[in-house]
Structure 1
Amino acid sequence: MLLALLLCYAGFTTLCLSTDRHHGALLHSKPSSGQRLALRLGGWLLLSVSIWPAVRAAGWSQGLVEWCAVLMCSALLLVLLLPYRPRLALILAGASLLASPVAAIALL
């Protein structure tokens, strides 16, 4: 479940960065249309890939339920961090992307 959590958090943060408001608050610039498209595609890709470890760990029936819980937890974490600690939210997203391969190897 750790891999699913890491991928979901990174995916939501990437989707968050595709908006002008959050991109400006976190990176102090506005994304170009190409960057916006790439961030959206990357975010949705990370969220869709995050289903795999949840289903692999617990099967389709229980895995999808656990994946929905992980989605909610990662979104809640991001929503709580953005107004108060935006830099920490960005740092955690980078750390989750760096830790994802280690969690994937541990899953195998």
Structure 2
Amino acid sequence: MLLALLMCYVGFTALCLSTDRHHGELLNSKPSTRRRLGLRMVGWLLLTVSIWPAVAATGWAQGLVEWCAVLMLSALLLVLLLPYRPRLALMLAGVGLLASPVAAFATL
């Protein structure tokens, strides 16, 4: 379930960075059209693929329920961190991106 949580959080952060406001706030620049499209594609891809580890761990019935809970938890964490600690939100996404392969190998 950790892998699904990490993937959801990084996916939501990528979607967040695809907007002008949050990209400027976190990275101090305006995203180009190509970067915006890339961030959106990566964000939606990660959110979609994050279903796989949840379903693989506990089956379709329980896995989808747990995936919805992980999806809400990661979105809530990002929403609570952005106004007060935006740099921490960005650092957590980087740590989540680096920790995802470790979590993937731990589940095998």
2:107 aligns with 107
Task: Please give the alpha-carbon distance, in whole angstroms, between the structure 2 residues aligned to 1:14 and 1:29.
Answer: 15
Structure 1 gaps, min length 5: none
Task: Please give the alpha-carbon distance, in whole angstroms, between the structure 2 residues aligned to 1:13 and 1:36.
Answer: 12
| C-alpha RMSD of matched pairs (Å) | 0.3
Q: How many residues align?
A: 108
CA positional deviation for 1:35: 0.4
2:59 aligns with 59
Q: Is 1:7 matched up with 2:14?
A: no
Task: Please give the alpha-carbon distance, in whole angstroms, between the structure 2 residues aligned to 1:36 and 1:85.
Answer: 23
Task: Please give the alpha-carbon distance, in whole angstroms, between the structure 2 residues aligned to 1:48 and 1:106.
Answer: 21
Aligned pairs for 1:39-58 (under 5 A) are: 39-58=39-58
Structure 2 gaps, min length 5: none
Aligned pairs for 1:1-108 (under 5 A) are: 1-108=1-108
CA positional deviation for 1:54: 0.1
Task: Please give the alpha-carbon distance, in whole angstroms, between the structure 2 residues aligned to 1:52 and 1:96.
Answer: 17
| Identity, % of aligned positions | 81
Per-residue Cα deviation, 1:69-107 (whole angstroms, up to 9, x for no partner): 000000000000000000000000000000000000011
Task: Please give the alpha-carbon distance, in whole angstroms, between the structure 2 residues aligned to 1:14 and 1:82.
Answer: 13
- TM-score normalized with structure 1 length: 0.99
Q: Letter of the aligned partner of 2:89 in structure 1?
A: A
